């Protein structure tokens, strides 16, 4: 797939230009809205997730924002799992709240609570397949039933599982989100996000006027009437992406396309190494607990020496990279409480399942023996209050 490094596209004729701008024909106009390299990534993601189509974004957070902007406006309400990434919590509790969109957070397995939290103005139910960093695995079918009973879509962040391990649409999800930065890219080179839609949600059910009423943003077009099953995807692209400007760059899409080609191979290797490392940690007396979702290669553990021992452990590691990312070919380590989830209050952190002493590992593709050698040294160093090696 070539990198179409271009801002715009030559029209064949004035008539074709007008047809494109009126959304009556297919083709590229301007790379803020679509680009051939980005479109190739989008279609492959839609295919991998079993969806109707996809829209790529500059980041996972941008994809999430655009889903919200596609369905909700000031005065609306969202219901969200509390076992999620800290950045999502702040996007919802700070930025979205400032824009007049309120969110209720509940444990992802509090099914009655989630059902009861849905109000007439609730526009979506949000959860992560595997919670970051708690490792809580969502019961997608039950969440989908709760959402659908109330006439709202289930939105699932599938970043940690990837479509290789789980395809949420097959379990009832209507929208699937990814931080493409993680396993899809696989090499920690690119920030990106993508949304995939199932094409089966009834957007004309009366609850989504942004899709089923004439749109002032596009010549009073009624998206559900004009585009049928494509209503959500078309509005996400031609109105929300157009207005927000958070498109994926062609270069980034190309890097992600390289990553997708080895996704299956990498996931198998991630899982193999994860098994070996979990087994190793469970044999060690310095380790107080291991919380492992058995779905993917990201998990947390705690040391008997608590938060301070965790800090010493991370500082003593040589091979593992101490950085704020997951899903890389390289093995990664971080303490969520003081980094990725540090904007959360103590209460929110507890609710998200982030123990203060938790150390999060993202197991990479190196030789398990080397990874274990490094962990072994660091555990000893942490227990003895100094750096060994």
Partner 1 sequence: MILSTPSQRRALLERSKTVAVVGASNNPMRPSYTVFSYLRTATTFDVTPINPTIAEIDGIAAYPSLTAYAAERGAPDIVDVFRKASEVLAVVDEAIAIGAKAIWFQYGVVNDHAIAKADAAGLDVVVDRCMKVEYARFHGGLATAGLNSGIITSRRP
Query: Which residues would be at the binding site for partner 1 (CB under 8 A)?
Result: 15-16, 19, 22-28, 34, 36, 38-40, 42-43, 46-47, 51-56, 219-221, 225-226, 228-230, 233-234, 237
What minimum distance in Å lies between the beta carbon of 71 and partner 1? Answer: 19
* Nearest CB to partner 1, comparing residues 56 and 361: 56
For the CB of residue 20, give the shortest distance to partner 1 in the complex, in Å.
10
Nearer to partner 1, 185 or 274 (CB): 185
Output 214 or 306, the one with its CB closest to partner 1. Answer: 214
Q: Could you count the other beta carbons within 10 Å of the beta carbon of residue 103? A: 23
Q: Whole-number minimum distance, CB 61 to partner 1, in Å?
A: 19
Complex with partner 1: residue 221 or 341, whichever CB lies closer: 221
Using alpha carbons, list the distances in angstroms from residue 270 to 60, 261, 264: 22, 16, 10
At its nearest, how many Å lie between partner 1 and the CB of residue 127? 23
- Residue 374 region by backbone torsions, left for phi larger than 0, else alpha for psi between -120 and 50, else beta: alpha
With CA atoms as reference, report the closest residue to 183 among 209, 157, 204, 207: 157
Backbone angles phi, psi at 84, to 5 degrees: -140, 175
Nearer to partner 1, 185 or 377 (CB): 185
Contacts of 154 (CB under 8 A, 6+ apart): 124, 125, 127, 140, 143, 144, 147, 148, 168, 172, 173, 174, 175
The two beta strands, 287-291 and 332-334, are: unpaired
The nearer residue to partner 1, 225 or 279, going by C-beta atoms, is: 225
Distance of closest approach, residue 179 Cβ to partner 1, in angstroms: 18
> How big is the chain by its Cα radius of gyration, in Å?
22
Half-sphere exposure of 262 (CA within 13 A, CB side): 15
Return phi, psi of residue 15, to 5°.
Answer: -65, -45
Residue in 199, 178, 169 with CA at minimum distance from that of residue 260: 178
Nearer of residues 12 and 385 to partner 1, judged by Cβ: 12
> At its nearest, how many Å lie between partner 1 and the CB of residue 131?
28
- Using the minimum distance from each CB to partner 1, give the nearer residue, 46 or 138: 46
Minimum distance between the CB of residue 42 and partner 1, rounded to whole angstroms? Answer: 3
SS (H, E, C) 267-320: HHHHHHHHHHHHHHHHCCCCEEEEECCCCCCEEEEEECCHHHHHHHHHHHCCCC
For the CB of residue 190, give the shortest distance to partner 1 in the complex, in Å: 17
Instruction: Work out how close the CB of 237 gets to partner 1 at its nearest, in angstroms, rounded to a whole number.
Output: 7
Alpha-carbon distance of 322 to 325, in angstroms, equals 9
Answer for the pair 357, 349: CB distance below 8 angstroms, yes or no: no
Are the C-beta atoms of residues 195 and 55 closer than 8 Å to each other? yes
- Residue (111 or 230) nearer to partner 1, CB: 230
Provide the 10 A C-beta neighbour count for residue 275.
15
């Amino acid at each position: 797939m070539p990198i179409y490094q271009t801002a715009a596209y030559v029209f064949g004729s004035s008539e074709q230009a007008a047809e494109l701008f009126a959304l009556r024909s297919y083709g590229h106009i301007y790379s803020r809205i679509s680009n051939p390299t980005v479109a190739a990534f989008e279609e492959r993601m839609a295919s991998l997730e079993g969806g109707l189509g996809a829209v790529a974004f500059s980041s996972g957070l941008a994809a999430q924002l655009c889903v919200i902007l596609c369905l909700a406006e000031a005065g609306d309400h969202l219901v969200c799992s509390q076992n999620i990434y800290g950045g999502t919590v702040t996007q919802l509790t700070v930025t979205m709240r400032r824009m007049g969109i309120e969110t209720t957070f509940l444990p992802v397995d509090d099914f009655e609570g989630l059902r009861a939290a849905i109000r007439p103005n609730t526009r979506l139910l949000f959860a992560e397949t595997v919670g970051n960093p708690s490792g809580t695995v969502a019961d997608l079918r039950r969440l989908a039933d709760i959402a659908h009973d109330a006439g709202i879509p289930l939105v699932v962040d599938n970043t940690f599982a990837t479509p290789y391990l789980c395809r949420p649409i097959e379990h009832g999800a209507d929208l699937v989100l990814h931080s493409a930065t993680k396993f899809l890219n696989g090499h920690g080179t690119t920030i990106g996000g993508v949304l995939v839609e199932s094409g089966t949600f009834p957007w004309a059910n009366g609850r989504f006027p942004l899709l089923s009423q004439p749109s002032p943003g596009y010549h009073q077009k009624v998206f559900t009437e004009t585009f049928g099953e494509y209503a959500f995807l078309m509005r996400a692209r031609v109105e929300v992406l157009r207005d927000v400007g958070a498109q994926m760059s062609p270069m980034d899409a190309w890097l992600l396309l390289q990553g997708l080609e080895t996704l299956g191979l990498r996931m198998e290797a991630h899982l193999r190494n994860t098994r070996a490392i979990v087994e190793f940690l469970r044999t060690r007396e310095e380790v107080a607990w291991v919380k492992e979702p058995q779905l993917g290669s990201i998990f947390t553990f705690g040391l008997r020496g608590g938060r301070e021992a965790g800090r010493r452990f991370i500082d003593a590691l040589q091979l593992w990279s101490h950085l704020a990312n997951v899903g890389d070919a390289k093995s990664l380590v971080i303490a969520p409480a003081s980094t990725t989830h540090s904007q959360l209050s103590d209460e929110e952190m507890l609710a998200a399942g982030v123990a203060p002493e938790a150390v999060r590992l993202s197991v990479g593709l190196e030789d398990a023996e080397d990874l274990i050698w490094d962990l072994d040294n660091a555990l000893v160093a942490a227990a003895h209050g100094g750096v060994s090696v």
